[in-house]
Structure 1
Amino acid sequence: MAVIGAGNWGKNHIRTLSGMDNVRLKSVCDIDEERLKRINENYPNIEITNDPKDIFKDSSIKGVVVASSSDAHFSLAKSALDNDKDVLVEKPLTLDSNSAEILIEKAEEGKRILMVGHLLIYHPAVKKIKELIKSGELGEIYYLYSQRINLGAIRRTESSLWSLGPHDISIALYLLEEVPNFVEAYGESYIQKDVNDVVFLNLHFPNRIIANIHISWLDPHKIRKLTIVGSKKMVVFDDMEAREKIKIYNKGVDSIDYNSFSEYISLRFGDVLIPKLEMYEPLKLEDAHFVECIQKRIKPITDGENGLKVIKILEEAEKSLRNK
C-alpha cells in the first residue's frame, strides 16, 4: 500500500494503515519535505518520496490512497488506475462529474477498485441509524437536517460546500437510498471572493422528503449534528458527544379521526432511548474496508458511482448559488 499526501487526512491514513496486521504500508509521497521528514521520524520503515511516479511504477504496491489537495485528486487517481493500482480517493472524488466518470470508466475497464473516502458512511452511529430506518422503527421519514459548522479550517482551493458538503450529502444518500430530484442552495463569500464560507443546502427527495444541510467554516460553534424526523420516532446523531452519539426520541404526532368532528391531532411525548454502540474509529473501518475490497475483489460501499452522485449534487448546488 501507499499514501499520496501526508497532510491532515493523509497522516491519519498513514497511522491507520501502518497499524494493520494484514497490510504493509510501503511508501508515502508528499511534495512537502518537512512533512516527509516527520513521516520518516515517526515511521522509519516506510519509504518516502516526493514523486508519485515512484509509487505508480512500483509493481509491489497494489493499493493507493490519494489524500492530496482536491484539485489533484483526478490526475493522481487516473495515473494510479493507469498503472493497475486499486485506489481510495479522499472526498470529493473529483471537482467535476466529467472527471469522475472518466475515473469510473477506467476502473471498470481495468477491473480496478475505485473507492471514495465518504468517511461517515462507516461511522457506527450512521450504520445504526440506517438499521433504524430499514427496520421501520422511525416510521415514514418526513425530513432531516444537519449542521456541520465550525471556525476553520478555511481553504483556498475549494469552498465550504465542496470541503464539508460531501459528508452530509453522502449520509443523506446512504440513509434514504435515493437521489434528490431538486437541489437548491443559498450561501455567501465573506473572506475570499467566490469561495463560499457558509452554505444552506436543500435537497428535495421523492416521497416529499426534505434534507436541509447547513455548512460553514465561519461560525462560533463547533457542531456536527444530524436530526431525522419520522412518523413514529425521531433520532439525533451528535458526533461531538463522547459517548451518547445517538438519541432516539419516541415523540411524534398521532392523527385521530373523529367521525362527527374534523380531524384532531394528538402529540406524543415518550421516552428517550440511548442505544449502546460498539464504537470504532470510522477511518479505521473505512481503510479496513478498502483493504477487504482489494483482497476479495468486492465492490466498495462508497464506490466511484457513489462519489459521482455526490459530485452531481454539488454541481447542482453550485449552479443554484450562482443564480441567486
Structure 2
Amino acid sequence: MTDRLNVAVVGAGYWGPNLARNFRASTDWNLATICDLDGSRAQRVADSLGGVPTSTSLEQVLADPAIDAVAIATPARTHHPIVLAALDAGKHVMVEKPLADTREHGAEMVERARAGGLVLMADHTYCYTPAVMKIRELIADGSLGDILFIDSVRINLGLIQPDVDVFWDLAPHDLSILDFILPGGIDVPVVAAQGADPLATGKACVGYLTLPLSGGAIAHVHVNWLSPTKIRQMVIGGTRRTLVWDDLNPQQRLSVYDRGVDLELQSKETADSRAANISYRLGDTWSPALPEREALSNVAAELASAIREGRDARTSGESGLRVLSVLEAAGASLADGGAPQTIQTAIHAGGTA
C-alpha cells in the first residue's frame, strides 16, 4: 500500500502545530485539514506550512469520507467526546496524552475502537524518541539482565496547571515510558503516592510515585513543578548492567555501565541469599549511537503502519488506559495519606485492559 493516508489535525493550540508539521513532512500522510474552533488560529498554522485547508467544524471534518484518521490535540477534558465522535465516524484516532480525563472515559474509548476495528493510538511522544526506543531494545534483548529498580526524575520550575496536579501533568510521560520499555507494560498491582502543596495552590506541586515491579523490583517516579533546576533523567538498574538516560544531555543521552552487585550463592541447593558472597563489578561504560530523528515523525509513521497492517499501535489505547489506571489509583493513594492503592485493570466486568 503506497498511497498516502489523509489526516486531520484537531486543535491548533500548543501541540497541534507540531503534529501538523510532522504530518505535513511525512511520506505516509497527506495533511488534509487543520480544525480548530478559532479559525484564525488554524489559519496561522496552515500558513506556516505553506497552505493547508482549515475548518472550524469538527462535524464537517468527520463527515468527509476522504479523511482516514484524526489527530487530536485538545484539552484532556475534551478527548472523550471528540474521540468517540471520530470513532463513530469510522476514523482512526491518535490522541495526545493523557488519553482521557478519567479512566472510565478512557475505557469507553478503548472499547469503542475495538468494536469498530479501528486504531486508537496514544501520542506518548517520548516513547518514540531514539533514546527510549533504544532502551526498549536493550531491555528486550537482555543487555541489562533482569530489572532490579527504575528511578525516574522529571523536575523543573514549571507552570502550575489550573486544572490538574503535578502527577497528571508530568507523570504520564514517565508512566508511558515505563509501559513502553517493560515487557508486558505496567503490569503492577498497586501504587503509592505522596505529594506536597507547599505554596497552598490547592493541588500537589511535588510528588513521588512508588510502584512494585515483578520479581521484587521497584520503580520510583519523582515529579516537581518547583525545582529551580531542570532534570529529566531515568536510571534503570539490571542484574547485568545499569543504564542512565539523561534527556538533557544531547552529547550522551544514554550511558550503559557494566557495574553492579553480583551475588555468588554458596549453596546452590538452598539458594539462600543470606549465605551469598557479595561482590561489586566495575566494568566499562559505553554510550550507544542514536539516530537523529524527531520523535513525532516516528509517531506519524507508527500510526500509518498500524492502520495499514491492521494492528494495535505500539502505544495503543490500552497503553494509555494503563497509564490512566495508575494515575487514578495514585490520586486515591494521595487522598489516603500515601497508602498503597489497588490499580484497576478490568475495562468492565467482562474484559481486561
> Is the alpha carbon distance of 1:196 and 1:271 closer, same or farther for their aligned partners in structure 2, counting shifts above 3 Å?
same
- SS at 2:328 equivalent: helix
| Equivalent in 306, 309, 328 of residue 315 of structure 1 | 328
Q: Which one is further off, 289-298 or 276-285?
A: 289-298
1:161 aligns with 2:167: yes
- The aligned residue for residue 16 of structure 2 is 10
Query: Residue 142 of structure 1 aligns to a residue in which SS?
Result: strand
For 1:102 and 1:116, the matched residues in 2 are separated by: 14
Letter in 2 for 1:189: D
User: Please, which of 45, 51, 62 is the counterpart of residue 56 of structure 1?
Assistant: 62
What is the match of residue 288 of structure 2? 275
Does residue 215 of structure 1 match 2:223? yes
Quickly say closer, same or farther: Cα 1:76–1:258, change in 2 above 3 A: closer
| Partners of 1:30 and 1:36 within 8 A in 2 | yes
2:146 aligns with one of 135, 140, 148: 140
Give 1:304 deviation, angstroms.
1.2
**What does residue range 2-41 of structure 1 map to in structure 2 within 5 Å?**
2-41=8-47
Deviation at 1:167, TM superposition (A): 1.2
- In the TM superposition, 1:115-264 aligns within 5 A as 115-176=121-182, 177=184, 178-190=186-198, 193-256=201-264, 263-264=276-277
- Give the number of equivalent residue pairs: 323
Deviates more, 1:167-176 or 1:111-120: 167-176
* Percent identical: 34
> Distance in 2 between the 1:190 and 1:115 partners?
36
Structure-1 residue corresponding to 2:82: 76
Distance 1:216 1:35, change over 3 A: farther
Report the Cα distance in structure 2 between the residues aligned to 1:150 and 1:54, rounded to whole angstroms.
Answer: 41
* One-letter code aligned to 1:293: A
Distance 2:53 2:327 in 1: 36
Alpha-carbon distance between aligned partners in 1 of 2:199 and 2:59, rounded to the nearest angstrom: 36
Q: Does structure 1 retain, via aligned residues, the 8 Å contact 2:21–2:49? A: no
Gaps in structure 1 of 5+ consecutive residues = none
Counterpart residue type for residue 33 of structure 2: S
Question: C-alpha displacement at 1:256, in angstroms?
Answer: 4.3
TM-score, normalising length from structure 2? 0.86
> SS in structure 1 opposite 2:178?
helix
Deviations along 1:13-69, one digit per CA (max 9) or x if unpaired, are 011001113311111122334522421331353122222222111121110001101
| Alpha-carbon distance, 1:128 to partner | 1.6
1:203-234 per-residue CA deviation (whole Å, 9 max, x = no partner) reads: 11221111100112221111111100112210
Q: Is contact 2:39-2:54 (8 Å) kept?
A: no
Indicate if the aligned counterparts of 2:34 and 2:46 stay in contact, CA closer than 8 A.
Answer: no
Q: Please say which of residues 236-245 and 248-257 is displaced more in the overlay.
A: 248-257
Give the equivalent residue in structure 2 for 1:305: 318
Cα distance between partner residues in 2 of 1:191 and 1:289: 41
Deviation at 1:142, TM superposition (A): 0.6
Q: Match for residue 99 of structure 2?
A: 93
Q: Deviations over 1:162-202 (max 9, x none)?
A: 12111111221222224111200111234564332221111
Number of the residue aligned with 2:4: none
Gaps of 5+ in 2: 1-6, 268-273, 338-353
Alpha-carbon distance between aligned partners in 1 of 2:130 and 2:63, rounded to the nearest angstrom: 37
Alpha-carbon distance in structure 2 between the residues aligned to 1:160 and 1:207: 29
CA RMSD of aligned residues (A): 1.9
Give the Å deviation of 1:313: 0.5
SS in 2 for 1:201: strand
1:254-299 alpha-carbon deviations (Å, 9 max, x no partner): 234569x964422222111111122321111011111222233222
Cα deviation per residue 1:86-106 (whole Å; 9 max; x = unaligned)?
A: 100111111112111111111
For residues 203 and 227 of structure 2, the distance between their equivalents in structure 1, rounded to whole angstroms, comes to: 16
Distance 1:46 1:295 in 2: 24
* One-letter amino acid matched to 2:92: D
Q: Kindly tell me: are residues 265 and 26 of structure 1, through their superposed partners in 2, closer, same or farther at Cα, counting changes over 3 Å? A: same
> Could you say which residue in structure 2 is the equivalent of 1:285?
298
Contact 1:63 1:294 in 2 (8 A): no
TM-score (norm 1): 0.94
